[in-house]
Amino acid sequence: MIDIEIEDEAWSAAVPDAEALTRLAATAALEARGGVTILLTDDDSVAELNARFRGKAGPTNVLSFPAPANPEGHRGDIALAWGVCAREAAEQGKPLGHHLQHLVAHGVLHLLGYDHLTEAEAEAMEALERRILAGLGVPDPYA
């Protein structure tokens, strides 16, 4: 099951199909390996989560919170910050919808145990992101 909550209406205003794009990216990244809850929110909310759970100041584009093992197969929760994501998409010259799908796939992969702390991990994770996004018709975000 994929739960999506759009808390900041700026997401819907800028990306009218934000919920559908989010669901597609999460489904593609999960490959039927459980469920997630995704919150499309504002920078202040993500900054609060970042400070509370990671001890870091300010918002970031996406946060992933893995769930403990559970019989429902819930993988965890993901939060995306509107302002950070919109700014990054504009700076990178890409549609916000594509950036949203990239960050959702990235967040889901974190919930599935992937990381990018080492160069080898980053290469493996980025290859998966490229494959997932290509299946959604989204260009390579690292090109």
Whole-angstrom distance, CA of residue 42 vs CA of residue 49: 11
pLDDT at 93 over 90: yes
For the domain 2-135, what is the CATH superfamily, name and number?
Answer: Metalloproteases ("zincins"), catalytic domain (3.40.390.30)
Q: What are the tens digits of pLDDT across the range 24-36?
A: 999 999 987 889 9
Q: What local confidence, expressed as pLDDT, does residue 32 receive?
A: 78
Angle, CA 119 vertex, CA 82 and CA 138 arms, to 5°: 45
Query: Which has the closest alpha carbon to 79: 103, 109, 97?
Result: 103
119: Cβ contacts below 8 Å, ≥ 6 apart: none
Mean pLDDT confidence for 71-83: 96
What pTM does this model have? 0.93
44: Cβ contacts below 8 Å, ≥ 6 apart: 59
